[in-house]
């Protein structure tokens, strides 16, 4: 009997000790993580690097620190570089580029809501989910400058981010919260957390006479032409889509994907579709009607026949023609010269007169 009592006492004391340690961890955990977040923010402010950005992302995913610290960290990570041209022409549109400096590898977030205003005018709004990646956005500065001079540009950026908790102890905390809510209350568990930041970023643009302003150069050589053509390729995609025509619904099967990798020069193309009878359909406003890519760029885009709907059933062939366009390149101030070469890609697709299946 005495042996049983000793075993029971040992179980009770051990359980009480474990519960006590968990309680201490819950109480001291936020303080420790807040200290870690404060140190990570200070190190990042002193010298922003990719590895220090990754440390901030990990702490945000673990819901470390206070709301103010999390909002501060998000603002630091999202603060962009602002790229402008050396000079712009009087009376022409002025565009700037904002470049996110770091690839933010959030493993899971519930939503992103971001808006950017330029000189007080709304310019870009995004709401959705997915990945929060390093990226480039070209924005128009409102209005036209009719006189030479240097003018300020101010960006107002608002972003809210809903981040799911990601840490090694997440599963344990969820289990304890469900079973012992008095021990692990909702604030300590917090399955998701919203971070919000508002900040401004400033730059300036220089406007001068039309003939003196920066222009886009066209570059070409035998070696560059060969390298650029080798950087592009195309492949057939058996995708099926539907569209309406004046004579009824159509189903089209087939599209083309144009891929490019490590471009040796910047490129900017306007696109047309050349039909066998010689007709050319401009793809203005339709992807890839306005294609631009910087030096070293890689990616792909699709040519969807449903964007230029044809009524005649049967198999069709056409040629996608990409022609260099300095006016498109001008929209990205980081592009100073583009390749002066034309690309052509054959595409084929089949149009069915039967309405698309539901």
Q: In the structure, what pLDDT confidence band is assigned to residue 253 with cuts at 50, 70 and 90?
A: confident
**Is a pLDDT exceeding 50 seen at residue 27?**
no
Residue 32 pLDDT exceeds 80 = no
Q: Is-contact 300 287, C-beta < 8 A?
A: no
* Spatial separation of the C-alpha atoms in residues 290 and 282, rounded to whole Å: 11
pLDDT tens for each residue of 44-95:
999 999 999 999 998 988 888 889 999 999 999 999 999 999 999 999 999 9
Query: Which sequence spans correspond to the domains of the chain?
Result: 2-210, 217-352
Same fold, 2-210 and 217-352: yes
pTM for the model: 0.75
Provide the pLDDT for residue 25.
47
Cβ-based neighbours of 317, under 8 Å, separated by 6 or more? 276, 346, 347, 348
CA 156 distance to own-chain centroid: 18
**Structure confidence at residue 276 (pLDDT):** 81
Evaluate the CA torsion angle 177, 181, 182, 185 in order and state its sign. Answer: positive
* Residue 245, pLDDT score: 81
Question: What is the distance between the alpha carbons of residues 322 and 269, in angstroms, rounded to a whole number?
Answer: 5
Burial code of 70-101, b = ≥16 C-beta within 10 A, e = fewer?
bbbbbbbbbbbebbbbebbbbeeebbbbbebe
Q: How far apart are alpha carbons 272 and 59 in whole angstroms?
A: 48
Instruction: Report the range out of 2-6, 103-107, 271-275, 340-344 with the highest average pLDDT.
Output: 340-344
Residue-level pLDDT at 189: 45
**pLDDT tens-digit readout, 124-183:** 877 765 555 557 889 999 989 999 999 999 999 998 888 877 655 555 555 555 555 555
Average pLDDT, the chain: 82
Percent of the chain with pLDDT over 90: 45
CATH 3.30.365.10 for the 2-210 domain, yes or no: no
CB 316 within 8 Å of CB 350: yes
Give the separation between CA 16 and CA 335, rounded to whole angstroms: 66
Structural fold of domain 217-352: Immunoglobulin-like (2.60.40)
DSSP 276: T
Closest CA to 253 of 304, 311, 312: 304
Is the per-residue pLDDT at 293 higher than 70? yes
């Amino acid at each position: 009997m005495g042996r049983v009592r000793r075993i029971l006492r040992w179980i009770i004391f051990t359980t009480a000790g474990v519960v006590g340690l968990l309680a201490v961890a819950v109480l001291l955990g936020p303080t420790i993580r807040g200290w870690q977040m404060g140190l990570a923010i200070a190190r990042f402010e002193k010298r922003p690097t990719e590895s220090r950005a990754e440390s901030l992302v990990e702490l945000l995913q673990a819901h470390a620190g206070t709301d103010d610290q999390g909002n501060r960290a998000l603002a630091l990570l999202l603060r962009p570089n602002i790229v402008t041209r050396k000079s712009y022409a009087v009376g022409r549109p002025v565009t700037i580029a904002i470049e996110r400096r770091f690839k933010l590898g959030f493993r899971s977030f519930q939503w992103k809501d971001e808006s950017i205003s330029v000189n007080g005018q709304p310019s870009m709004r995004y709401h959705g989910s997915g990945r929060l990646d390093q990226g480039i956005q070209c924005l128009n500065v409102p209005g036209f400058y009719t006189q030479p001079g240097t003018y300020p540009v101010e960006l107002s950026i608002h972003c809210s981010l809903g981040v799911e908790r990601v840490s090694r102890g997440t599963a344990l905390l969820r289990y304890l919260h469900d079973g012992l809510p008095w021990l692990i209350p909702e604030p300590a568990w917090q399955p998701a957390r919203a971070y919000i930041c508002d900040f401004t970023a400033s730059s300036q643009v220089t406007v001068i006479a039309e003939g003196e302003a920066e222009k886009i150069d066209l570059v070409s050589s035998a070696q560059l032409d060969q390298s650029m053509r080798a950087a592009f390729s195309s492949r057939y995609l058996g995708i099926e889509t539907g569209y309406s025509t004046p004579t009824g619904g159509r189903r089209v099967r087939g599209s083309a994907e144009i891929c490019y990798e490590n471009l040796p020069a910047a490129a900017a193309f306007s696109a047309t579709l050349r039909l066998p009878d010689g007709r050319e359909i401009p793809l203005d406003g339709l992807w890839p009607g306005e294609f631009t890519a910087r030096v070293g760029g890689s990616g792909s885009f699709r040519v969807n026949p449903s964007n230029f709907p044809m009524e005649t059933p049967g198999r069709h062939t056409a040629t996608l023609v990409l022609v260099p366009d300095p006016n498109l390149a001008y929209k990205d101030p980081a592009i100073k010269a583009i390749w002066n070469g034309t690309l052509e890609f054959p595409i084929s697709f089949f149009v069915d007169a039967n309405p698309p299946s539901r």
